[in-house]
Structure 1
């Protein structure tokens, strides 16, 4: 079927036009069949124009060039960065939920409860353990929210150090999304099976650090290529800045985690302090 108007944006079409001049959709359309469905699905994955395999290949072999080409105008060549990130995070949640990668938080310890003297202390302890479980579950189930908060912060840290490198904040944010998404994919493919197989052993912590180091090395590699637009940059500068970001991010997450878990104690401490000051 060759309509006179584009079925996507309703722009008037000439009889010889194969694509809409306004939105780029094919002029000729037809009803979906199983054959058409599988063809379109395979085309979306493998086609060199915006195919995700093309993006993965580029991010695996020359991530700096991929990000540079995208921010400099080659949008049709690559998969959308935000969509790519969400796909990577979705895979991360699915694989880690299936493998049960993360260490489970234990419930209230009966031995600790037995040592607490008052019912109020016991209730506070139980409430704190419940909040720890909630926070841990949130971290496992909603890495997309953490990423949406963390990546803008990472881009800000990079901009503060490399703002004279010819890249603005938004371009650095796009770089972080591309590189962070692929680094997250590396964690899912390489780190998750290792962590799942060593959970409960001393190797778990070691593999966690090694996986995080692998991700940092990859991101630094991509940033090196991306930031060398006007003049070359050494590999160590983006690596150290990226590690600095991880330190800042870990400190912030730890602070909010402790505040959430210990907020009752914080409230009591503040009340005592105010009471002492008013004496």
Structure 2
């Protein structure tokens, strides 16, 4: 038997080619084999996904620390994990299109028009993946300025932020779908709570990674929270300004309802 990828000679009991590392496929393609291959290629569904979700929930420092230290086979890599999060986010946005008219945009009771909010939400849906990715450098920069006992550089903090953001998105996906289908009018209220818990989880990850004393941890936690909040509102303001300058929304859209 020969490898179909590099033509090297193989023993019949080989599962992977020792020359090129490709998986041996001795049988014809079946529906079951096709489904298994898709899961393996795109989601690395060989228990590493389940292991990554479980470990990131309680011991995120093991997943992130192992990856940065060079252990790359035990857990799902950050790009694959992020890809799953983006895929679930796309499903959520698809569902939002059917509930957008039921969402209460004036949930703060300020009497403002929902025209601008609806337009901004439509644009956010269109560029969701790009906006989602912008939060990674935001968390990474806030992290390197507040928590860095391990002396990580910026790319290593980007890995930490990617794992944090992707995991929180995956973990909260079922809750987001339930709220969207059961109480869509309260979805924006939930979004505010979502942001608070997202900051809280990313802070939990940094605390587990960079072990400081209690007093120093509290001070650094406050610094990190302030930096993320400033960055979040700055990023939101920038997105709204770009939409205003490009004509996606107008100043009239922000006027209160008559």
Identify the TM-score tier after normalising by the shorter chain.
Answer: 0.7 to 0.9
- Give the direction of change, closer, same or farther, for the CA distance of 1:235–1:42 in structure 2 (3 Å limit): farther
Partner of 1:246: 229
Q: Per chain length, whose mean CA-contact separation is higher, i.e. which structure has more relative contact order (CA < 8 Å, sep 6+)?
A: 2
Q: Counterparts of 1:1-279 in structure 2 under 5 Å?
A: 2-3=1-2, 6-8=3-5, 10=6, 12-13=8-9, 15=11, 18=14, 19-27=16-24, 29-40=26-37, 46-48=45-47, 51-99=48-96, 100=98, 103=103, 133-163=118-148, 165-194=150-179, 197-200=182-185, 204-228=187-211, 234=217, 237-238=220-221, 240-261=223-244
* CA apart distance, 1:196: 5.1
Aligned residues: 231
Conserved? CA contact 1:64–1:226, under 8 Å: yes
Conserved? CA contact 2:138–2:231, under 8 Å: no
Deviations 1:44-80 (A, max 9, x none): 66523xx312211112222222111121122111222
5+ long unaligned stretches in structure 2: 107-114, 248-258
Choose 1 or 2 for highest CA Rg: 1
* CA apart distance, 1:15: 4.5
Partner of 1:268: none
**Counterpart secondary structure, 2:217:** coil
Inter-partner Cα distance in structure 2 for 1:239 and 1:197: 35
Inter-partner Cα distance in structure 2 for 1:251 and 1:148: 15
Q: What's the TM-score, normalizing by structure 2?
A: 0.72
Conserved? CA contact 1:155–1:173, under 8 Å: yes
Provide the aligned C-alpha RMSD in A: 3.4
Conserved? CA contact 2:146–2:220, under 8 Å: no
Inter-partner Cα distance in structure 2 for 1:74 and 1:149: 27
Inter-partner Cα distance in structure 2 for 1:250 and 1:234: 24
* CA apart distance, 1:181: 0.6
* CA apart distance, 1:133: 4.9
5+ long unaligned stretches in structure 1: 107-128, 265-279
Inter-partner Cα distance in structure 2 for 1:239 and 1:47: 39
Q: What's the TM-score, normalizing by structure 1?
A: 0.68
